[in-house]
Amino acid sequence: MQLRFEKLTKTYPGGIVALRDVSLTIPPGMFGLLGPNGAGKSTLMRILATLQEPDSGGAWLGDIDILKDKMGLRRVLGYLPQEFGLYPKVSALEMLDHLAVLKDIGPAATRKRMVLELLQRTNLHEVRKRSLGSFSGGMKQRFGIAQALLGKPRLIIVDEPTAGLDPEERVRFHNLLAEIGEDIVVLLSTHIVDDVGDLCAAMAVIFKGELLLAGSPLEQIRMLRGKVWRKLVNKDAVAQHAVEHPVISSRLFAGRTLIHVLADAAPDAGFEPVEPTLEDVYFATIRRRQAGVTPAVATAGAPAVEA
């Protein structure tokens, strides 16, 4: 069952364009949607979760028309938004059972078995009787996945799931997402490049409401080999290098600034080649768009081709 959307467009009052003709086909498995804050990711997630209407365009999950058959989509949807409310004085067991009732999961014995299985799967069974208000951030995120898995969904949408998690909880959450993302469509929206690199066999980059790239992370990295160069410079020289070269990223290193430049050959004698990473792919894609290069986006299973 594929997720497909075509020419989705959304403009907010004041002329803010959140999405501009966004089209993509996503096969089963983990799919990463990368973009900075304000890129349009959350707007796209809300539209696909039937919480918001686009101005134009269409979206389908298999033969379900998401915009016309919202209840049909909701019956097979699991959704973990960036922020979700919990009743702090209610236990995890009680809350998950209540949500299962709202999803019309029954009879009672079936519902109880499903709830306990999900708490076990998300490593929350031992704390199932504790109040949700006492949970850590990582535990709340795992509870969020448990509620998203109610009813055996065919599409799971996860919006910025690891923001604020400590390294141990992030790894645990990654393992859980990887486990559930084998046979269904799991759409992971994030601005954390490593999350996509660790989890997803396919990805896309969205920026200022436009879809700039879609394809395999490994293939996109391969396409940049021999084109990324690095140089360690003083802080006061960064601005001049940005004028002279297409700098795609910079970061502090040993008290100086390490810059990465996108070029077919070494920009000057001070640069050395570097093996590209998914972060280089991400920043290079945005840098090209800012420079006026218009991408021709391929399907999720194939590398994107730039016009």
**Nearest one of 207, 203, 199 to 215, comparing CA atoms:** 203
Note the pLDDT of residue 295: 60
pLDDT digits (tens, 9 = 90+) for 185-227: 999 998 889 889 988 999 999 999 999 999 999 999 999 999 9
Listing DSSP states for 7-75 in one string gives EEEEEETTTEEEEEEEEEEE-SEEEEEE--TTSSHHHHHHHHTTSS--SEEEEEETTEETTT-HHHHHT
Taking the C-alpha atoms of residue 155 and residue 159, their distance in angstroms, rounded to an integer, is 13
pLDDT digits (tens, 9 = 90+) for 171-183: 887 888 888 777 7
Range(s) of the chain covered by CATH 3.40.50.300: 1-76+153-215+292-307
Whether the per-residue pLDDT at 297 is higher than 70: the answer is: no
pLDDT digits (tens, 9 = 90+) for 42-97: 999 999 999 999 999 999 999 999 999 999 999 899 998 877 778 899 999 999 99
Residue 227 has what DSSP assignment? S
Whether the per-residue pLDDT at 304 is higher than 80: the answer is: no
pLDDT digits (tens, 9 = 90+) for 230-279: 999 998 999 999 999 999 999 999 889 999 999 999 998 889 999 999 99
Could you tell me the CATH superfamily of domain 1-76+153-215+292-307? P-loop containing nucleotide triphosphate hydrolases (3.40.50.300)
Give the pTM. 0.85
Taking the C-alpha atoms of residue 130 and residue 139, their distance in angstroms, rounded to an integer, is 11
pLDDT digits (tens, 9 = 90+) for 1-34: 899 999 999 999 999 999 999 999 999 999 999 9
Note the pLDDT of residue 294: 64
Q: Which residue has the tokens 């290069």?
A: 293
